[in-house]
Amino acid sequence: MKPAPFAYQKARSLDEAIALLSEKDAKLLAGGQSLIATLNMRLSSPALLIDINGISGLDAIALKNGSVEIGALARHVQVERSEVVAKQAPLIARAMPHIGHPAIRNRGTLGGSIAFADPAAELPACLLALDGEIEATGPKGKRSIKAQDFFKGLFETALAPQEVLTGVRLPAATKNTRTGFAELARRHGDYAMVGLAASARADGKRLSDVRLAYFGVGNTPARAKKAEAALADGSIDAAVEALDLDPHDDVQATAKVKKHLAGVLLRRVAVQLTEARQ
Amino acid sequence: MRDKSADISLTVNGERVQERVDARKTLVDFLRDDLALTGSHVGCEHGVCGACTVRVNGEIVRGCLMLAVQCDGAKIETIEGLSDSGEVADLQAAFEQRNALQCGFCTPGMLTAAQELLERSKTVPSRDEIREHLSGNYCRCTGYHAIVDAVEAVAQARAGDRK
């Protein structure tokens, strides 16, 4: 199908984009890899598209005061090849190859993927697993939102109508940081049937601060807190047994299958979490 | 009322193009309908099948997930350009030799995606890497095996030429 008619305006600055967002039925266009698909299928029909691709300074990736900061307009391919990300945000580096396909990663942006908040997308779960923060900029200035408070519901976030997601901040990895990532998809690069992003801290031979963030199991990425505690206690079997998830049936799999696959992924990721960093 | 169309100026396969386009027109529809470059195919129209793969400023993208109006000032290359310049001649020959196409609908996207992998790889990519790179391109005829064979053969031949 073809999109319904809309007006198009290229924003030259963040201020201009924020101002344009006050217009009726205006939507931001970043990489467009989800938005344009929804336009083509007429699941969305905005009156105005505000193209923010030309705004400079929103695609930087840097290590600052112990945090990795990634600008919203950093394209997936740029994040995938970033040395800062590889060294300081290994979970993101593990996840990147699973996001879409090369042609999608060349165009799609980190900020777009997070703001779209697809429940089966990789990056929202990574942010939750890392206890990351989202930076939003609106008419009143900037604010930070914790990942756990950002994903509100199905495709629903804490962003106010006139706010622009301008970047994310993640704690930089230390030598004790452990990460794990796995997902099951029908085809490499497709949205996951079930996926798991995890982080932990190595404490001698034990793990602490285990954070298991599942995606594809509900309306938002979800932590399995009982399984986290069991894994920190040292038993993978107990963690799988304790998996506190409540997936529902979707076109890809039934809730029962998803629950089973979540356990399979937990076993895989638990092994990754116990491996020392390279 | 805001304008729902815009003037764009871009380069397509080395030629300057100036057109007025509807904002809602996707890049692949612009190439096919306005420029009669019908080598880029329209399949699923939501980024899943890869039949519309074209190059924008040197990188492959989905022609259905980019708007023509966003391509103002861009350099676009389609299968027609890659074919005429001879850039993918060896890939095309290998596809033919190994029966890596039957109906041909996916072939322009497949060639364009494969060329990006071969261009970027410093060593001969493994079959797994080839499969992964082409994972965004559906083929409903071949079962992919012959396509991977063809891409692998060209990768090896090009590596041999570099020595």
A101, A136, A171 — which closes off a domain? A171
Name the minimum distance, in Å, from the CA of A55 to any CA of chain B.
13
What the block records as the tokens of A12 is: 């030259």
H or E segment to which residue A251 belongs: none
Same-domain check for residues A67 and A155: yes
Same-domain check for residues A236 and A251: yes
Task: Classify residue A34: in a domain, yes or no.
Answer: yes
Neighbours of A210 (CB within 10 A): 26
Task: Classify residue A56: in a domain, yes or no.
Answer: no
Low-confidence ranges of chain A (pLDDT < 70): 277-278
What CATH number does residue A141 fall under? 3.30.465.10
- Model ipTM? 0.95
Same-domain check for residues A156 and A185: no
Domains in chain B with CATH codes: 5-82 (3.10.20.30), 88-162 (1.10.150.120)
Residues 72-91 of chain A with CB under 8 A from chain B are: 77
Same-domain check for residues A215 and A156: no
The whole-number pLDDT of residue A278 equals: 57
The whole-number pLDDT of residue A92 equals: 98
All residues at 6 or more sequence positions from A251 whose CB lies less than 8 Å from its CB, including other chains: none
Maximum CA extent, chain B: 61
A107, A139, A171 — which closes off a domain? A171
The C-alpha atoms of residue A210 and residue A234 are separated, in whole angstroms, by 11
φ, ψ of residue B94 to 5 degrees: the values are: -65, -40
H or E segment to which residue A228 belongs: helix A225-232
The whole-number pLDDT of residue A189 equals: 87
H or E segment to which residue A261 belongs: helix A255-274
Q: What pLDDT digit, counting tens, does each position of A159-205 carry? A: 999 999 999 999 999 999 999 999 999 888 888 999 999 999 998 88
Measured between beta carbons, which residues in chain B are less than 8 angstroms from residue A39? 24
Same-domain check for residues A158 and A76: yes
Q: What pLDDT digit, counting tens, does each position of A261-275 carry? A: 999 999 999 999 988
Same-domain check for residues A40 and A83: no
For helices A225-232 and A255-274, give the axis angle rounded to 10 degrees: 30
The whole-number pLDDT of residue A42 equals: 97
Q: Report the SS3 class of residue B93.
A: helix
Contact A104 B113 (CB under 8 A): no
Contact B22 A102 (CB under 8 A): no
Contacts by residues A58-66 (CB-CB < 8 Å, ≥ 24 positions apart) = A58/A14, A58/A111, A58/A166, A58/A167, A59/A109, A61/A85, A63/A88, A63/A172, A66/A171, A66/A172
Task: Classify residue A73: in a domain, yes or no.
Answer: yes
Same-domain check for residues A129 and A213: no
Measured between beta carbons, which residues in chain B are less than 8 angstroms from residue A187? 135
Is residue B101 exposed (0-12), middle (13-18) or buried (19+ Cβ within 10 Å)? buried
The whole-number pLDDT of residue A275 equals: 84
Name the minimum distance, in Å, from the CA of B65 to any CA of chain A.
5
Please state the domain count of chain A: 3
Contact B59 A77 (CB under 8 A): yes
Q: Where are the alpha helices (DSSP H) in chain B?
A: 27-29, 79-84, 89-97, 107-120, 127-133, 145-162
Same-domain check for residues A89 and A166: yes
What CATH number does residue A24 fall under? 3.30.43.10
The whole-number pLDDT of residue A191 equals: 87
| Domain assignment of residue A265, given as a range | 177-273
Same-domain check for residues A92 and A109: yes
The structure's pTM equals 0.95
Same-domain check for residues A40 and A72: no
Nearest to A72 by CA among A24, A22, A11, A129: A11
The whole-number pLDDT of residue B65 equals: 98
In DSSP terms, which residues pair with A7 in a beta bridge? A48
Same-domain check for residues A184 and A166: no
The whole-number pLDDT of residue B85 equals: 98
All residues at 6 or more sequence positions from B128 whose CB lies less than 8 Å from its CB, including other chains: none
Q: What pLDDT digit, counting tens, does each position of B72-95 carry? A: 999 999 999 999 999 999 999 999
The C-alpha atoms of residue A238 and residue A235 are separated, in whole angstroms, by 5
Q: Could you say which DSSP state residue B124 is in?
A: P
Same-domain check for residues A68 and A127: yes
Q: Are the C-beta atoms of residues B61 and A36 closer than 8 Å to each other?
A: no
Q: Could you say which DSSP state residue A109 is in?
A: B
Tell me what the mean pLDDT of segment B102-127 comes to. Answer: 97
Q: Are the C-beta atoms of residues A130 and A221 closer than 8 Å to each other?
A: no
| Residue B50 forms contact with A (CB below 8 Å) | yes
